[in-house]
Chains A and B, each alone.
Chain A
Amino acid sequence: MSDLQKSNSNLQAVGCVEIDDLSIRFASPQGREVVAVETTDLRLEPGSFTALIGPSGCGKSTILNAIAGFVSPSSGSICVDGKAVTGPDPEVGVVFQQYALFPWFTAIGNVKFALKRFRLGREELQRQAHEALKEVGLGDRASAYPGQLSGGMKQRVALARTFASKPKVLLMDEPFGALDAQTRISMHELLLRIWDAHRTTVLFVTHDVDEALLLSDRVFVMSEGPGRIIDSFEVQSDRPRVVDQVDEHFVANRNRITKLLRQSHADSI
Protein backbone atom coordinates (compact mmCIF):
# COMPACT_ATOMS: atom_id res chain seq x y z
CA MET A 1 0.00 0.00 0.00
CA SER A 2 1.45 3.37 -0.96
CA ASP A 3 1.65 6.26 1.48
CA LEU A 4 -1.02 8.11 -0.39
CA GLN A 5 -3.43 5.21 -0.16
CA LYS A 6 -2.66 4.84 3.53
CA SER A 7 -3.49 8.43 4.31
CA ASN A 8 -6.58 8.03 2.20
CA SER A 9 -7.74 5.01 4.15
CA ASN A 10 -7.17 6.96 7.37
CA LEU A 11 -9.35 9.70 6.03
CA GLN A 12 -11.94 7.11 5.10
CA ALA A 13 -12.54 6.29 8.74
CA VAL A 14 -13.81 9.77 9.54
CA GLY A 15 -17.44 10.79 9.26
CA CYS A 16 -18.84 7.59 7.81
CA VAL A 17 -22.56 7.10 8.38
CA GLU A 18 -24.12 3.69 7.90
CA ILE A 19 -27.83 3.07 8.21
CA ASP A 20 -29.12 -0.48 8.04
CA ASP A 21 -32.75 -1.59 7.90
CA LEU A 22 -33.86 1.56 9.69
CA SER A 23 -37.52 1.98 10.45
CA ILE A 24 -39.11 4.64 12.63
CA ARG A 25 -42.66 4.59 13.89
CA PHE A 26 -44.53 7.16 15.94
CA ALA A 27 -47.69 6.83 17.96
CA SER A 28 -50.25 9.21 16.50
CA PRO A 29 -52.38 11.23 18.95
CA GLN A 30 -55.26 8.83 18.28
CA GLY A 31 -53.05 5.98 19.42
CA ARG A 32 -52.52 4.58 15.93
CA GLU A 33 -49.06 3.84 14.70
CA VAL A 34 -47.56 6.06 12.00
CA VAL A 35 -44.71 4.59 9.98
CA ALA A 36 -42.53 7.63 9.28
CA VAL A 37 -39.62 5.69 7.79
CA GLU A 38 -39.77 2.15 6.43
CA THR A 39 -36.76 -0.15 6.24
CA THR A 40 -34.13 2.11 4.82
CA ASP A 41 -30.48 1.55 4.03
CA LEU A 42 -28.26 4.52 3.48
CA ARG A 43 -24.54 5.13 3.48
CA LEU A 44 -22.78 8.47 3.61
CA GLU A 45 -19.22 8.27 2.36
CA PRO A 46 -16.69 10.13 4.49
CA GLY A 47 -16.25 13.68 3.29
CA SER A 48 -19.06 13.45 0.77
CA PHE A 49 -21.95 15.79 0.23
CA THR A 50 -25.28 13.98 0.01
CA ALA A 51 -28.70 15.44 -0.63
CA LEU A 52 -31.92 13.86 0.56
CA ILE A 53 -34.89 14.98 -1.45
CA GLY A 54 -38.55 14.08 -1.30
CA PRO A 55 -42.06 15.42 -0.89
CA SER A 56 -43.25 17.02 2.33
CA GLY A 57 -44.00 14.51 5.09
CA CYS A 58 -42.01 11.66 3.56
CA GLY A 59 -39.73 11.33 6.56
CA LYS A 60 -36.64 13.34 5.60
CA SER A 61 -36.45 15.17 8.91
CA THR A 62 -37.14 11.94 10.77
CA ILE A 63 -34.12 10.23 9.20
CA LEU A 64 -31.97 13.26 9.91
CA ASN A 65 -33.20 13.46 13.51
CA ALA A 66 -32.39 9.80 13.96
CA ILE A 67 -28.81 10.29 12.78
CA ALA A 68 -28.55 13.31 15.08
CA GLY A 69 -29.73 11.15 17.99
CA PHE A 70 -32.88 13.19 18.61
CA VAL A 71 -35.26 10.29 17.89
CA SER A 72 -34.46 6.64 18.34
CA PRO A 73 -35.01 4.01 15.65
CA SER A 74 -37.85 1.54 16.08
CA SER A 75 -35.66 -1.07 14.42
CA GLY A 76 -32.44 -1.26 12.48
CA SER A 77 -29.19 0.51 13.26
CA ILE A 78 -27.40 3.80 12.67
CA CYS A 79 -23.64 3.93 13.05
CA VAL A 80 -21.29 6.87 12.80
CA ASP A 81 -17.72 5.66 12.23
CA GLY A 82 -18.76 2.23 13.43
CA LYS A 83 -20.28 3.50 16.68
CA ALA A 84 -24.02 3.16 17.21
CA VAL A 85 -25.86 6.45 17.69
CA THR A 86 -27.42 6.60 21.16
CA GLY A 87 -28.06 10.32 21.53
CA PRO A 88 -26.93 13.76 20.41
CA ASP A 89 -23.17 13.96 19.98
CA PRO A 90 -20.94 16.90 19.03
CA GLU A 91 -19.32 14.68 16.39
CA VAL A 92 -22.62 15.00 14.54
CA GLY A 93 -23.46 18.67 13.98
CA VAL A 94 -26.90 19.94 13.04
CA VAL A 95 -27.99 23.10 11.23
CA PHE A 96 -31.68 23.76 11.70
CA GLN A 97 -34.11 25.42 9.33
CA GLN A 98 -35.13 27.88 12.03
CA TYR A 99 -31.47 28.63 12.89
CA ALA A 100 -31.91 27.67 16.58
CA LEU A 101 -29.47 30.38 17.61
CA PHE A 102 -29.69 31.30 21.27
CA PRO A 103 -31.20 34.79 21.25
CA TRP A 104 -29.71 35.60 24.68
CA PHE A 105 -26.16 35.24 23.36
CA THR A 106 -24.46 37.49 20.83
CA ALA A 107 -23.26 36.05 17.53
CA ILE A 108 -19.85 35.38 19.03
CA GLY A 109 -21.46 34.10 22.24
CA ASN A 110 -23.30 31.49 20.18
CA VAL A 111 -20.06 30.36 18.57
CA LYS A 112 -18.32 30.25 21.94
CA PHE A 113 -21.10 28.03 23.23
CA ALA A 114 -19.98 25.41 20.70
CA LEU A 115 -16.27 25.93 21.38
CA LYS A 116 -16.56 25.49 25.13
CA ARG A 117 -16.35 21.74 24.88
CA PHE A 118 -12.70 22.08 23.94
CA ARG A 119 -11.89 23.79 27.25
CA LEU A 120 -9.76 26.50 25.68
CA GLY A 121 -8.24 29.41 27.53
CA ARG A 122 -10.14 32.68 27.45
CA GLU A 123 -8.04 34.27 24.76
CA GLU A 124 -7.92 31.21 22.57
CA LEU A 125 -11.70 30.85 22.89
CA GLN A 126 -12.18 34.43 21.79
CA ARG A 127 -9.71 34.06 18.93
CA GLN A 128 -11.22 30.86 17.54
CA ALA A 129 -14.76 32.19 17.86
CA HIS A 130 -13.79 35.29 15.97
CA GLU A 131 -12.02 33.21 13.36
CA ALA A 132 -15.17 31.12 12.83
CA LEU A 133 -17.30 34.25 12.37
CA LYS A 134 -14.78 35.68 9.93
CA GLU A 135 -14.98 32.49 7.90
CA VAL A 136 -18.69 33.14 7.29
CA GLY A 137 -18.06 36.85 6.63
CA LEU A 138 -19.49 38.14 9.89
CA GLY A 139 -16.33 39.20 11.69
CA ASP A 140 -17.76 42.68 12.09
CA ARG A 141 -21.09 41.56 13.56
CA ALA A 142 -19.62 39.56 16.43
CA SER A 143 -21.41 41.47 19.16
CA ALA A 144 -24.82 41.61 17.45
CA TYR A 145 -27.66 39.61 18.94
CA PRO A 146 -29.51 37.18 16.63
CA GLY A 147 -32.56 39.44 16.85
CA GLN A 148 -30.50 42.16 15.17
CA LEU A 149 -29.44 39.98 12.22
CA SER A 150 -31.18 39.10 8.95
CA GLY A 151 -32.23 35.53 8.18
CA GLY A 152 -29.20 34.92 5.99
CA MET A 153 -26.83 36.32 8.63
CA LYS A 154 -28.45 34.17 11.30
CA GLN A 155 -27.95 31.06 9.23
CA ARG A 156 -24.31 32.06 8.68
CA VAL A 157 -23.82 32.38 12.44
CA ALA A 158 -25.49 29.00 12.84
CA LEU A 159 -23.07 27.53 10.28
CA ALA A 160 -20.10 29.07 12.08
CA ARG A 161 -21.40 27.73 15.39
CA THR A 162 -21.88 24.22 14.10
CA PHE A 163 -18.50 24.09 12.33
CA ALA A 164 -16.85 25.48 15.45
CA SER A 165 -17.69 22.29 17.35
CA LYS A 166 -15.74 20.42 14.63
CA PRO A 167 -18.30 17.76 13.72
CA LYS A 168 -17.34 14.83 11.53
CA VAL A 169 -20.84 14.72 10.13
CA LEU A 170 -23.01 17.73 9.36
CA LEU A 171 -26.78 17.36 9.10
CA MET A 172 -28.75 20.18 7.52
CA ASP A 173 -32.54 20.18 7.47
CA GLU A 174 -33.74 22.59 4.78
CA PRO A 175 -31.30 25.16 6.14
CA PHE A 176 -31.96 27.73 3.43
CA GLY A 177 -35.67 27.10 3.00
CA ALA A 178 -36.63 30.40 4.59
CA LEU A 179 -34.23 32.53 2.55
CA ASP A 180 -34.81 34.42 -0.69
CA ALA A 181 -33.26 33.20 -3.95
CA GLN A 182 -30.26 35.58 -3.98
CA THR A 183 -29.33 34.95 -0.36
CA ARG A 184 -29.73 31.26 -0.97
CA ILE A 185 -27.20 31.31 -3.82
CA SER A 186 -24.60 33.11 -1.73
CA MET A 187 -25.27 30.66 1.12
CA HIS A 188 -24.63 27.77 -1.28
CA GLU A 189 -21.28 29.27 -2.24
CA LEU A 190 -20.40 29.85 1.38
CA LEU A 191 -21.42 26.36 2.43
CA LEU A 192 -19.40 24.72 -0.35
CA ARG A 193 -16.37 26.83 0.50
CA ILE A 194 -16.50 25.85 4.18
CA TRP A 195 -17.25 22.24 3.31
CA ASP A 196 -14.21 22.24 1.02
CA ALA A 197 -12.04 23.57 3.82
CA HIS A 198 -13.33 21.19 6.54
CA ARG A 199 -14.33 18.17 4.45
CA THR A 200 -17.11 17.18 6.78
CA THR A 201 -19.57 14.53 5.64
CA VAL A 202 -22.75 16.44 4.83
CA LEU A 203 -26.35 15.26 4.64
CA PHE A 204 -28.49 18.00 3.22
CA VAL A 205 -32.29 17.73 3.31
CA THR A 206 -34.21 19.76 0.77
CA HIS A 207 -37.20 19.60 -1.49
CA ASP A 208 -35.59 21.86 -4.05
CA VAL A 209 -34.30 19.75 -6.97
CA ASP A 210 -31.84 22.38 -8.22
CA GLU A 211 -30.43 22.92 -4.75
CA ALA A 212 -29.80 19.19 -4.39
CA LEU A 213 -28.07 18.97 -7.77
CA LEU A 214 -25.98 22.11 -7.31
CA LEU A 215 -24.55 21.05 -3.98
CA SER A 216 -24.19 17.33 -3.77
CA ASP A 217 -22.07 14.40 -4.91
CA ARG A 218 -24.93 12.01 -4.41
CA VAL A 219 -28.70 12.35 -4.26
CA PHE A 220 -31.18 10.12 -2.45
CA VAL A 221 -34.79 10.44 -3.54
CA MET A 222 -37.54 9.52 -1.09
CA SER A 223 -41.23 8.89 -1.51
CA GLU A 224 -43.93 9.06 1.07
CA GLY A 225 -46.55 6.80 2.59
CA PRO A 226 -44.53 5.23 4.21
CA GLY A 227 -41.24 7.05 3.76
CA ARG A 228 -38.57 5.11 1.91
CA ILE A 229 -35.71 5.73 -0.48
CA ILE A 230 -36.74 5.02 -4.05
CA ASP A 231 -33.65 6.07 -5.95
CA SER A 232 -30.08 7.18 -5.47
CA PHE A 233 -27.40 8.27 -7.92
CA GLU A 234 -24.13 10.14 -8.32
CA VAL A 235 -24.13 13.71 -9.55
CA GLN A 236 -21.38 13.78 -12.18
CA SER A 237 -21.52 17.46 -13.13
CA ASP A 238 -18.22 19.28 -12.61
CA ARG A 239 -17.83 21.73 -9.78
CA PRO A 240 -18.22 24.63 -9.41
CA ARG A 241 -21.78 24.42 -10.63
CA VAL A 242 -23.81 27.48 -11.46
CA VAL A 243 -27.55 27.35 -11.74
CA ASP A 244 -27.74 29.32 -15.01
CA GLN A 245 -24.93 27.35 -16.73
CA VAL A 246 -25.93 23.75 -16.22
CA ASP A 247 -24.54 20.82 -18.24
CA GLU A 248 -26.41 17.91 -19.80
CA HIS A 249 -25.91 15.70 -16.70
CA PHE A 250 -27.64 18.31 -14.65
CA VAL A 251 -30.62 18.49 -16.98
CA ALA A 252 -30.89 14.72 -17.17
CA ASN A 253 -30.74 14.40 -13.41
CA ARG A 254 -33.26 17.14 -12.90
CA ASN A 255 -35.68 15.38 -15.24
CA ARG A 256 -35.04 12.07 -13.54
CA ILE A 257 -35.83 13.40 -10.06
CA THR A 258 -38.81 15.45 -11.16
CA LYS A 259 -40.30 12.41 -12.90
CA LEU A 260 -39.75 10.21 -9.84
CA LEU A 261 -41.34 12.74 -7.52
CA ARG A 262 -44.30 13.19 -9.85
CA GLN A 263 -44.82 9.45 -10.18
CA SER A 264 -44.63 8.80 -6.47
CA HIS A 265 -47.01 11.65 -5.90
CA ALA A 266 -49.43 10.25 -8.46
CA ASP A 267 -49.15 6.81 -6.78
CA SER A 268 -49.99 8.21 -3.39
CA ILE A 269 -53.27 9.85 -4.49
Chain B
Amino acid sequence: MNSVKKIGKVLLSLSGVVAIWWLFALSDAVNPQLFPTPLAVWEAALELHQEGLLYSDLNVSLERAAIGFFTGSLLGIVIGLLTAQTRFFRFALNPFLTLLRPIPAIALVPVAIVWFGIGEPSKYFVISYTVFLAVWLNTHHGMEHIATTYLRAARSLGASRTREFFEVVIPAAAPHIVAGLRMGAALAFLALVAAELTGSSSGIGFRLQEARQFIRTDRMFVGLIELGILGALLDFIFVTMSRKIVHWEHL
Protein backbone atom coordinates (compact mmCIF):
# COMPACT_ATOMS: atom_id res chain seq x y z
CA MET B 1 0.00 0.00 0.00
CA ASN B 2 2.71 2.39 1.07
CA SER B 3 5.00 1.53 -1.84
CA VAL B 4 2.11 1.91 -4.28
CA LYS B 5 1.60 5.40 -2.87
CA LYS B 6 5.31 6.14 -3.20
CA ILE B 7 5.47 5.01 -6.83
CA GLY B 8 2.34 7.03 -7.53
CA LYS B 9 3.97 10.14 -6.11
CA VAL B 10 7.14 9.62 -8.16
CA LEU B 11 5.12 9.12 -11.34
CA LEU B 12 3.05 12.20 -10.60
CA SER B 13 6.04 14.41 -10.06
CA LEU B 14 7.79 12.99 -13.14
CA SER B 15 4.81 13.65 -15.39
CA GLY B 16 4.68 17.17 -13.97
CA VAL B 17 8.30 17.73 -14.98
CA VAL B 18 7.70 16.28 -18.44
CA ALA B 19 4.65 18.51 -18.90
CA ILE B 20 6.56 21.66 -17.97
CA TRP B 21 9.46 20.58 -20.18
CA TRP B 22 7.09 20.05 -23.06
CA LEU B 23 5.39 23.42 -22.65
CA PHE B 24 8.75 25.13 -22.36
CA ALA B 25 10.12 23.41 -25.50
CA LEU B 26 7.02 24.39 -27.50
CA SER B 27 7.02 27.99 -26.32
CA ASP B 28 8.76 30.67 -28.32
CA ALA B 29 11.33 31.12 -25.60
CA VAL B 30 13.64 28.46 -27.05
CA ASN B 31 14.75 27.19 -30.42
CA PRO B 32 13.32 23.64 -30.82
CA GLN B 33 16.57 22.67 -32.59
CA LEU B 34 18.47 23.41 -29.37
CA PHE B 35 15.85 22.34 -26.86
CA PRO B 36 13.96 19.23 -28.00
CA THR B 37 10.49 18.19 -26.87
CA PRO B 38 10.04 14.98 -24.86
CA LEU B 39 8.58 13.39 -28.01
CA ALA B 40 11.67 14.24 -30.05
CA VAL B 41 13.87 12.76 -27.34
CA TRP B 42 11.75 9.61 -27.28
CA GLU B 43 12.12 9.30 -31.06
CA ALA B 44 15.87 9.84 -30.80
CA ALA B 45 15.99 7.05 -28.24
CA LEU B 46 14.11 4.73 -30.60
CA GLU B 47 16.47 5.68 -33.39
CA LEU B 48 19.49 4.88 -31.22
CA HIS B 49 17.85 1.62 -30.33
CA GLN B 50 17.29 0.69 -33.98
CA GLU B 51 20.91 1.53 -34.78
CA GLY B 52 21.81 -0.91 -32.00
CA LEU B 53 23.70 1.81 -30.13
CA LEU B 54 21.46 2.35 -27.13
CA TYR B 55 22.11 -1.03 -25.60
CA SER B 56 25.76 -1.37 -26.64
CA ASP B 57 26.67 2.08 -25.27
CA LEU B 58 24.95 1.28 -22.03
CA ASN B 59 26.76 -2.01 -21.85
CA VAL B 60 30.18 -0.53 -22.55
CA SER B 61 29.70 2.31 -20.07
CA LEU B 62 28.37 0.09 -17.32
CA GLU B 63 31.23 -2.34 -17.76
CA ARG B 64 33.79 0.44 -17.48
CA ALA B 65 32.08 1.91 -14.45
CA ALA B 66 31.79 -1.51 -12.80
CA ILE B 67 35.40 -2.54 -13.40
CA GLY B 68 36.67 0.86 -12.27
CA PHE B 69 34.40 0.83 -9.25
CA PHE B 70 35.39 -2.63 -8.07
CA THR B 71 39.10 -2.08 -8.56
CA GLY B 72 38.96 1.32 -6.90
CA SER B 73 36.88 0.24 -3.92
CA LEU B 74 38.92 -2.87 -3.28
CA LEU B 75 42.12 -0.83 -3.28
CA GLY B 76 40.45 1.91 -1.23
CA ILE B 77 39.31 -0.49 1.48
CA VAL B 78 42.61 -2.36 1.68
CA ILE B 79 44.76 0.79 1.71
CA GLY B 80 42.33 2.44 4.12
CA LEU B 81 42.69 -0.46 6.55
CA LEU B 82 46.46 -0.22 6.26
CA THR B 83 46.77 3.54 6.63
CA ALA B 84 44.48 3.63 9.63
CA GLN B 85 45.94 0.62 11.43
CA THR B 86 49.67 0.98 10.96
CA ARG B 87 51.50 4.05 12.04
CA PHE B 88 54.06 3.57 9.28
CA PHE B 89 51.49 3.75 6.49
CA ARG B 90 49.65 6.60 8.12
CA PHE B 91 52.89 8.50 8.35
CA ALA B 92 54.14 7.68 4.85
CA LEU B 93 50.97 7.89 2.79
CA ASN B 94 48.74 10.49 4.37
CA PRO B 95 50.41 13.72 3.18
CA PHE B 96 50.76 12.25 -0.28
CA LEU B 97 47.11 11.32 -0.52
CA THR B 98 46.01 14.63 0.95
CA LEU B 99 47.67 16.33 -2.01
CA LEU B 100 46.13 13.96 -4.54
CA ARG B 101 42.62 14.35 -3.17
CA PRO B 102 41.77 17.77 -4.63
CA ILE B 103 42.76 16.78 -8.19
CA PRO B 104 39.52 16.41 -10.18
CA ALA B 105 39.05 13.27 -12.25
CA ILE B 106 38.75 15.23 -15.49
CA ALA B 107 42.23 16.62 -15.05
CA LEU B 108 43.56 13.07 -15.06
CA VAL B 109 42.10 12.14 -18.43
CA PRO B 110 44.89 13.62 -20.59
CA VAL B 111 47.54 12.02 -18.39
CA ALA B 112 45.74 8.68 -18.51
CA ILE B 113 45.55 8.84 -22.31
CA VAL B 114 49.28 9.47 -22.57
CA TRP B 115 50.04 6.68 -20.15
CA PHE B 116 47.52 4.07 -21.22
CA GLY B 117 46.41 5.10 -24.70
CA ILE B 118 42.78 5.72 -25.67
CA GLY B 119 41.69 2.14 -25.04
CA GLU B 120 39.94 0.70 -22.02
CA PRO B 121 42.85 0.84 -19.54
CA SER B 122 42.86 4.63 -19.44
CA LYS B 123 39.15 4.63 -18.54
CA TYR B 124 39.67 2.01 -15.86
CA PHE B 125 42.49 4.08 -14.49
CA VAL B 126 40.53 7.35 -14.24
CA ILE B 127 37.45 5.69 -12.76
CA SER B 128 39.19 3.42 -10.31
CA TYR B 129 41.46 6.21 -9.16
CA THR B 130 38.50 8.49 -8.42
CA VAL B 131 36.62 5.72 -6.62
CA PHE B 132 39.73 4.70 -4.73
CA LEU B 133 40.24 8.16 -3.24
CA ALA B 134 36.66 8.40 -1.95
CA VAL B 135 36.62 4.88 -0.53
CA TRP B 136 40.09 5.17 0.95
CA LEU B 137 39.31 8.45 2.71
CA ASN B 138 36.07 7.15 4.18
CA THR B 139 37.56 3.85 5.26
CA HIS B 140 40.53 5.55 6.85
CA HIS B 141 38.31 8.06 8.62
CA GLY B 142 35.93 5.37 9.82
CA MET B 143 38.73 3.24 11.21
CA GLU B 144 40.42 6.17 12.90
CA HIS B 145 37.34 7.34 14.72
CA ILE B 146 36.24 4.12 16.35
CA ALA B 147 35.00 4.91 19.87
CA THR B 148 37.75 4.00 22.32
CA THR B 149 35.22 2.34 24.61
CA TYR B 150 34.58 -0.33 21.94
CA LEU B 151 38.27 -1.16 21.77
CA ARG B 152 38.63 -1.03 25.53
CA ALA B 153 35.60 -3.25 26.02
CA ALA B 154 36.90 -5.73 23.45
CA ARG B 155 40.32 -5.95 25.05
CA SER B 156 39.12 -6.24 28.60
CA LEU B 157 36.76 -9.01 27.46
CA GLY B 158 39.79 -10.97 26.33
CA ALA B 159 39.47 -10.59 22.56
CA SER B 160 42.60 -11.36 20.54
CA ARG B 161 43.87 -8.80 18.04
CA THR B 162 42.36 -10.81 15.21
CA ARG B 163 38.96 -10.99 16.86
CA GLU B 164 39.14 -7.35 17.76
CA PHE B 165 39.82 -6.52 14.11
CA PHE B 166 37.07 -8.62 12.57
CA GLU B 167 34.40 -8.36 15.25
CA VAL B 168 34.91 -4.79 16.43
CA VAL B 169 37.06 -2.65 14.15
CA ILE B 170 35.50 -3.68 10.84
CA PRO B 171 31.85 -3.46 11.97
CA ALA B 172 32.52 -0.16 13.76
CA ALA B 173 34.02 1.27 10.57
CA ALA B 174 31.42 -0.36 8.30
CA PRO B 175 28.99 2.58 8.20
CA HIS B 176 31.80 4.83 6.96
CA ILE B 177 33.04 2.25 4.49
CA VAL B 178 29.54 1.78 3.08
CA ALA B 179 29.09 5.56 2.84
CA GLY B 180 32.41 5.70 0.98
CA LEU B 181 31.26 3.02 -1.45
CA ARG B 182 28.05 4.90 -2.12
CA MET B 183 29.99 8.08 -2.77
CA GLY B 184 32.43 6.09 -4.88
CA ALA B 185 29.61 4.75 -7.05
CA ALA B 186 28.38 8.28 -7.76
CA LEU B 187 31.91 9.43 -8.53
CA ALA B 188 32.48 6.42 -10.79
CA PHE B 189 29.76 7.85 -13.04
CA LEU B 190 31.30 11.28 -13.02
CA ALA B 191 34.71 9.89 -13.91
CA LEU B 192 33.19 7.60 -16.53
CA VAL B 193 31.65 10.47 -18.46
CA ALA B 194 34.81 12.55 -18.08
CA ALA B 195 36.86 9.70 -19.53
CA GLU B 196 34.41 8.96 -22.35
CA LEU B 197 34.03 12.57 -23.48
CA THR B 198 37.57 12.58 -24.76
CA GLY B 199 39.47 9.84 -26.51
CA SER B 200 36.83 7.18 -26.79
CA SER B 201 34.72 5.61 -29.53
CA SER B 202 31.84 4.13 -27.58
CA GLY B 203 29.81 4.60 -24.45
CA ILE B 204 27.25 7.11 -23.26
CA GLY B 205 29.83 9.89 -22.87
CA PHE B 206 31.12 9.35 -26.39
CA ARG B 207 27.57 9.40 -27.81
CA LEU B 208 27.01 12.76 -26.11
CA GLN B 209 30.16 14.15 -27.66
CA GLU B 210 29.26 12.71 -31.07
CA ALA B 211 25.79 14.25 -30.90
CA ARG B 212 27.39 17.63 -30.25
CA GLN B 213 29.18 17.47 -33.60
CA PHE B 214 25.84 17.04 -35.35
CA ILE B 215 24.03 19.42 -33.02
CA ARG B 216 21.63 16.58 -32.14
CA THR B 217 20.37 17.85 -28.81
CA ASP B 218 17.64 15.21 -28.86
CA ARG B 219 20.30 12.49 -28.81
CA MET B 220 22.18 14.36 -26.12
CA PHE B 221 19.07 14.40 -23.96
CA VAL B 222 18.79 10.64 -24.36
CA GLY B 223 22.29 10.32 -22.94
CA LEU B 224 21.59 12.72 -20.09
CA ILE B 225 18.39 10.93 -19.14
CA GLU B 226 20.17 7.58 -19.25
CA LEU B 227 22.82 8.92 -16.88
CA GLY B 228 20.17 10.33 -14.58
CA ILE B 229 18.23 7.07 -14.41
CA LEU B 230 21.35 4.95 -13.97
CA GLY B 231 22.68 7.18 -11.22
CA ALA B 232 19.39 7.20 -9.35
CA LEU B 233 19.02 3.41 -9.67
CA LEU B 234 22.55 2.85 -8.47
CA ASP B 235 22.05 5.08 -5.47
CA PHE B 236 18.81 3.31 -4.65
CA ILE B 237 20.61 -0.03 -4.78
CA PHE B 238 23.34 1.26 -2.51
CA VAL B 239 20.93 2.68 0.05
CA THR B 240 19.01 -0.59 0.11
CA MET B 241 22.22 -2.58 0.46
CA SER B 242 23.59 -0.39 3.21
CA ARG B 243 20.36 -0.82 5.17
CA LYS B 244 21.02 -4.54 5.04
CA ILE B 245 24.74 -4.42 5.74
CA VAL B 246 24.79 -1.85 8.56
CA HIS B 247 21.26 -2.63 9.74
CA TRP B 248 22.03 -1.61 13.34
CA GLU B 249 22.52 2.00 12.20
CA HIS B 250 18.89 2.14 11.14
CA LEU B 251 17.18 0.88 14.30
- Size bracket, chain B contacts: 20 to 34
- Inter-chain contact total with CB atoms closer than 8 Å: 66
Cβ of A147 < 8 Å from any Cβ of B?
Answer: yes
Known contacts A100-B149, A116-B163; is A68 also within 8 Å of B156 by CB?
yes
Q: Measured between C-beta atoms, what is the minimum distance from B48 to chain A in Å?
A: 46
Cβ of B168 < 8 Å from any Cβ of A?
Answer: yes
On whether the beta carbons of A88 and B156 are closer than 8 Å, the reply is yes
Number of interface residues of A (CB under 8 A): 28
Residue of B nearest to A88 (CB): B155
Residue of B nearest to A171 (CB): B156
Which label, helix, strand, loop or mixed, suits the secondary structure of the B interface?
helix
On whether the beta carbons of B251 and A145 are closer than 8 Å, the reply is yes
Residues of B within 8 Å of A116, CB to CB, are 158-159, 163
On whether the beta carbons of B152 and A88 are closer than 8 Å, the reply is yes
Cβ of A39 < 8 Å from any Cβ of B?
Answer: no
Residue of A nearest to B249 (CB): A103
Residue of B nearest to A109 (CB): B167
Cβ of B157 < 8 Å from any Cβ of A?
Answer: yes
On whether the beta carbons of A114 and B158 are closer than 8 Å, the reply is yes
Q: Tell which of B152, B153, B159 has the most Cβ of chain A within 10 Å.
A: B153
A144 and B154 CA atoms in complex are apart in Å by 20
Cβ of A102 < 8 Å from any Cβ of B?
Answer: yes
Residues of B within 8 Å of A98, CB to CB, are 149
On whether the beta carbons of A147 and B248 are closer than 8 Å, the reply is yes
A104 and B248 CA atoms in complex are apart in Å by 6
A148 and B174 CA atoms in complex are apart in Å by 20
The 4 closest A-B pairs by CB, nearest first: A90-B158, A147-B251, A88-B155, A117-B158
> Could you pull out 12 A-B pairs where Cβ atoms are within 8 angstroms?
A69-B156, A70-B152, A88-B152, A88-B156, A90-B156, A100-B150, A100-B153, A103-B248, A104-B171, A104-B248, A113-B157, A114-B157
Known: A68-B156, A113-B154. 5 other contacts (CB 8 A): A88-B155, A98-B149, A100-B153, A103-B248, A104-B171
Residues of A within 8 A of B (CB): 68-70, 87-90, 92-94, 96, 98, 100, 102-105, 113-114, 116-117, 145-148, 161-162, 165
